[in-house]
Chains A and B, each alone.
Chain A
Amino acid sequence: MIGAAMPADARPATLRMRGIRKSFPGVVALDGVDLEVAPGEVHVLLGENGAGKSTLMKILSGATLCDEGVIELDGQRVLVRDPAHAQALGIRIIYQELNLVPQLSAAENVFLGREPTRGLGFVDRARIERETRSTLAELGVPIDVARPVSELGIAQQQMVEVAKALHGDLRLLIMDEPTSALTASEISALFGTIRRLTASGVAVIYISHRLEEVARIGDRVTVLRDGRRVATHRVGEVSISELVRLMANRELKEHFPRRRSPRGEELLRVEGLRGGILRDVAFSLHRGEVVGLAGLLGAGRTELARAITGADPPSAGTVAIKGEAITPRAPRDAIRRGVGFLPEDRKTQGLVLERSVTENLALPSTPRLSPFGWIQARAERALAASAVESLRIRTPSLEQAVVFLSGGNQQKVVLGKWLAADVDVLVIDEPTRGIDVAAKVEIYEEMNRLTARGAGILMVSSELPELLGMSDRILVMREGRIVAELDALAATQEQVLGAALGQAAGQPA
């Protein structure tokens, strides 16, 4: 299973990729990329969306073949034919979107496809549960292995994926944005697990957009840009701003370019909101303001965003929009009054993936664009073109299906829907999750423009730097209530985290 630890220089590199080239019709995705990962190393792979990270990992995991180039595993030249072959070679990949069967238990998922049986072909349930329990205990995460994974949290589900990856000979583990849905304490647990794996000689390729994680978990970092490797550095020999510069090929002056706008009249007043986990939530949002909503996963932030916007109607309480108090029953109740909602998962909630950029951008504005039910094609195209222009959405045409855009550009389309609809209040849930640095900055800039022209933004985020950097005020939620309100300019990460954890503000977490 997990081999004994050996000094890194005693064996050849676990993985050596040389001159990897891959092109798709019209695009060169990888143009001669080299990558080397030593045993026991955590090698961070950075790059904007579209830089070639996913393609490189797909080649490694057998999901696609490269046109040219050499892959060596432990000094042996290999050709990864398909995902099953990659498995046999000891390569495992854990995708950002987890691949578990929700109805099956943790143990059943771990043993899926290789269930040990007792006579008559019945699955030896006791054995798979016993073995899964011991694997998870080794990883330092006690989980009830008999429960369906749908009842587990995202972090626990991820540990089940790791346990699944551990069977057989594991040489190289690829993790694609593993922390994008995790809270700070869950990230610490995951990093502990990764260290336990690398201590036993497993090599890890770690893909992330969270630059602060590079120093915490990485040994070396490779930056890809436009299908080429631009640099490989030891962590500690390179600064975060240098990495950002390498990725984006331009100096990003500041990560969080918040330009504060004068606070205007009240736009939104929420009172006594209940429903699901929410307990008497009350707050207000003014013109020109960005209010950040902090809290651990499950604290009720997304629930609050969905209640205000009518996505999940609240059971009690009022939402007053520009003075008009309603209890939203459906999204269109809120939208009609000028409230837009960017949901946390753009693919399942934000976009109609197979439809065009134009149709997606125009969707909330369709009633206005179609007097008497007939769509004004010219007005619609003008609306889409102006959103593409102002958000710098990179798309070959307005007719392109959004499924073909990169994550950052897809997110800009979701944001663009609400710009085009000209809303006054924008509720955004994890606006920059899983998108590249340049797209993040462009989204922040758009938030600045919106507040400058008098809109108010309520932003749910799990990234403390983003909350502190982009908000004017921060509301901290815990167990369905707002437990603290902090001035973002004066607050520290420790204060926000402390309040979210239920400690007095100011105390270390």
Chain B
Amino acid sequence: MRAAPWLARRGRQLGTLVGLCLLSGLLSVLSPHFLSVSNLRNVLEQTAINAVVAVGMTFGIVSGGIDLSVGSIVAVSGVLLASALAAGAPVPVAIAAGLAAGALCGLANGLLVTRGRLPPFIATLGMMSVARGAALVFTDGRPVSGFEAGFRSLATERVLGLPAPVLVVAVSYVAAHLLLTRTRFGRYVYAIGGNEEATRLSGVAVRFHKTMVYVLCGATSALAAVLLTARLNSAQPIAGMMYELDAIAATVIGGTSLLGGSGSLGGTLVGALIMGVLRNGLNLLGVSSYLQQIVIGAVIIVAVLVDSLLKRPGR
């Protein structure tokens, strides 16, 4: 009896984890390279960027909203960061500028949703185009590159045997998990997503907290831009295309309900790993990139379908 409520609460997350293990098991049988250290490290590095974007997305979706502009924010904060570096700004200053740009885009999203009363879907869809356009205008459509080697070490450095981006992911998830589960802000994010009106009537400054969710989402997108720029050693104004798809997929596969009010960062991390392992596996198996899109779309649909079938009230 004692295990039952625990299972009910954790069952969905365990299910995702089992899915990840089955997928990995299958790939290790199909491809001898899958379990090699270099390949696994590769998977982690590739997953890192999506995983960081999905942190903010999880907050957005748990609060009952969504952010479609994450990919464009990655691009605009990436080119700003790179331009600052190219102009000779110190690395911390350039990173701060990139994060500030992302947070500002998020602030605009948040204000449009809370003060302008736009549906999050529309506000962030507009921002998706505006931020992308801004990145293109700012760079005249050209990549920005040529910075000092110190910045690149963000992608190449090993800390305790782990690539630095993996460490960034680990720190981000621990901090975000604590923020969501242990702080007043996180408590309000769940409450707002579950029932905004009841939360407002309980005295919570709903508009402020919702705005902060979008600021956070912009900031994590900018953090992903830092990792991406370091890895590629340049910033592209067309970077981050379709990142919203991967981030939403990781979040939803991880068990966060699109209706808001429930979800966890642990689930999202496993969801991001599933996406990463899947892409890596399809590459190892030599599946064409066209076919990959079909497979990945189908996996997202099946994952959510299974979820909704399991949740359907029993007869």
Contact = CB atoms under 8 A, between A and B. Distances in A.
Contacts of B4: 26
A28 to B, nearest CB: 16
Interface string B190-204: 110011011111111
Contact of A370 (B184, B197, B261): B184
B262 A364 contact: no
Interface residues of A, number: 36
B185 A373 contact: yes
B183 interface: yes
A452 interface: no
B182 A349 contact: no
B117 interface: no
A332 B199 CA distance: 11
B315 A350 contact: no
Given A352-B194, A399-B5, A332 B204 contact: yes
A375 B261 contact: no
B198 A349 contact: yes
B203 A336 contact: yes
Most chain A beta carbons < 10 A, residue from B5, B9, B194, B202: B202
A335 to B, nearest CB: 4
A20 to B, nearest CB: 15
Given A332-B205, A355-B194, A363-B191, A374 B182 contact: yes
Q: Interface residues of B: mostly helix, strand, loop or mixed?
A: helix
A359 interface: yes
Interface string A310-335: 01000000000000000000111001
Contacts of A396: 5
Interface string B167-202: 000000000000000111101101100110111111
Interface string B90-107: 000000000000000000
B194 to A, nearest CB: 4
A354 to B, nearest CB: 5
A351 B184 CA distance: 17
Given A366-B188, A399-B5, A375 B182 contact: yes
A348 interface: yes
Interface of A: 26, 64-65, 309, 311, 330-332, 335-336, 341, 343, 348-355, 359, 362-364, 366-367, 370, 373-375, 377, 396-397, 399-400, 417
Interface of B: 1, 4-5, 9, 182-185, 187-188, 190-191, 194-195, 197-205, 261-262, 315
Given A354-B194, A366-B188, 19 more contacts: A26-B4, A309-B201, A311-B200, A330-B200, A332-B203, A332-B204, A352-B190, A352-B195, A353-B195, A359-B190, A362-B187, A363-B187, A363-B191, A363-B199, A370-B187, A373-B184, A375-B184, A397-B5, A399-B9
